[in-house]
Amino acid sequence: MQPLVISHLSIANSLGLGLSATMDALRKRRSGLIPCAFEDVDLETYIAKVETIEACRMRPDLDAYDCRNNRLAQLGLEQDGFSTAVEAAKKKYSAGRIGVFLGTSTSGILQTELAYRRLDPQTGALPPDFHYAETQNSYSLASFVTRYLGLGGPSFVVSSACSSSAKVFANAVRMMAAGVCDAAVVGGVDSLCLSTLYGFNSLGLVSRFPCRPYDADRDGISVGEGAGFVLLERATAENSADAMLLLGVGESADAYHMSTPHPEGLGAKLAMQRALDSAGLKASDIDYINLHGTATKSNDASEGKAVAEVFGTKVPCSSTKGWTGHQLGAAGITEAIIAMLAVEHGFVPGSVNTQQLDPNIMINYRIENGEGKIDRVLSNSFGFGGSNCSLVLGRRT
C-alpha cells in the first residue's frame, strides 16, 4: 500500500488527557486501573475510568448528543491541538473531502441503560429527554465528531468489538485509494457502561485484580474507557524524513468461534503477515510489537503462538492494557498511538501488573520499560468472533 502520513494525533484515557500525560504515566509506570466504582455496579474488579468526563460539558449546539461516550469523544478532540489541525486541513482539502471513520463497541449505550431507570410508570415510555439517534445509535459517534469538526466527507462507524478502531485505518486506506476523500479523521471511542461490565463478568472474563497480560496466573480483563484520533493524509515530497506513517494494514477473520480466538492463532498470524506484506517489510524490520494482550488465558496463548511463528523470539513485545485497561472499541486507536509514542521517544513500554511470565509463551515479552532506537512497530487488535487487524506504523529508513 502507499504509506499515509499521520500528521496529528490526540488521546484521552485513564492515564490523563493528551499525549504528554499518557507518556508520563508510561514512563512512571503509573497504571490507570482502580477498584471498580462506577454507577451502582456491584462487581469485585478493577476499571480504568476517565474521571473528568462528569465535569465535561457538551458544546451548546450539540446538546442532543450529550452522553458519556460523546463527552469522551469531545475530550479527545480537545487534546493535542487536534481540532486546530483539522481546521487547517479543511482549508487545504475542503470540509467535504475529509472523511470520518471511527470505531466503537457499545457507543452511548449507558444513556439507554440510565433512561430505562426513568420509564414512565403509566405508559412505560422512555423519558422525553432521551435521544436514541444522537447517543446510543452506533453512528452517533461519527455524527457527533463530524458535526463537532464541521466536516462533510464520507463518515461511518465500525463496530467489530475490540478491533473496531484498528479496522478503521484499513477503511480509510481504501476510501482514500478510491479517491472518495483526500484526508481522514480516524479513531475510536468507548466508554464504561453496565452492559460491558456485567456482560464480560457473565462470560467469566473479568479479573478480580488489575489485569496481568501474559502472566502465568492471568485470569481476565480489566475494562477501561478512552478516546483517540489521528489525521491521515497522503504522503508527499513535502513531508519530513521522520514523518510518522501508516505503512501497512492486515485484516483477517478466524471463522472459528463467537468469542474464543483460534487456539493456534491462525487468524492473528494471517493479519500480522498481511500487514507486513502490505508494508513491503519483513518480520525482522519490526522493532516493537504492541500486543492485543487482554490477559485472558485463551487470547494471550493464541496471540503468543502467532507472534512466535511470525516473529520468533527477538522482537520486544508488550501489552499496555495493564495501564489503560481493555478499552474495547477504543483499544485499537489507543494502542496504535502508544506504539507511535514508542517510535517518537525510543521507548519500549513494559507491562505493569505482570509478575511471572507464562513459560509456555515463547516470545520476547517485556515487563520492564526499555529504551532504544525504534523505527517501525506493529500493533495488534483482535476482536470477538475472530475479527483481526494488525497495523504497521513508523518511519521510512
The whole-angstrom separation of Cα 184 and Cα 119 is 40
Cα angle value 61/330/242 (rounded, 5°):
100
Query: CA 70 to CA 7: how far, in whole Å?
Result: 23
In the set 8, 36, 67, 162, the catalytic residue is 162
d(CA 212, CA 355): 8
User: Is 292 in the active site?
Assistant: yes
141 contacts 70 by C-beta, under 8 angstroms: yes
- Rounded Cα gap, residues 1 and 236, in angstroms: 15
Asked if 127 and 340 count as a contact pair (C-beta separation under 8 A), the reply is no
Q: Which of 8, 292, 317, 389 is catalytic?
A: 292
Closest CA relative to residue 285, chosen from 169, 393, 167, 166 = 393
User: With contact defined as beta carbons under 8 Å apart, do 68 and 74 qualify?
Assistant: no
Using an 8 Å Cβ cutoff, are 337 and 228 in contact? Answer: yes
Q: Pick the catalytic residue from 8, 131, 262, 326.
A: 326
Strands 376-383, 387-394: pairing kind: antiparallel
Confirm if 261 and 382 have CB atoms less than 8 A apart.
yes
Judged by DSSP in three states, 63 sits in: helix
- Sheet containing 46-48: give its strands across: 33-35, 46-48, 223-224
Give the residue from 133, 99, 385, 88 showing the smallest Cα distance to 260.
385
Catalytic residues, by residue number, are 162, 292, 326
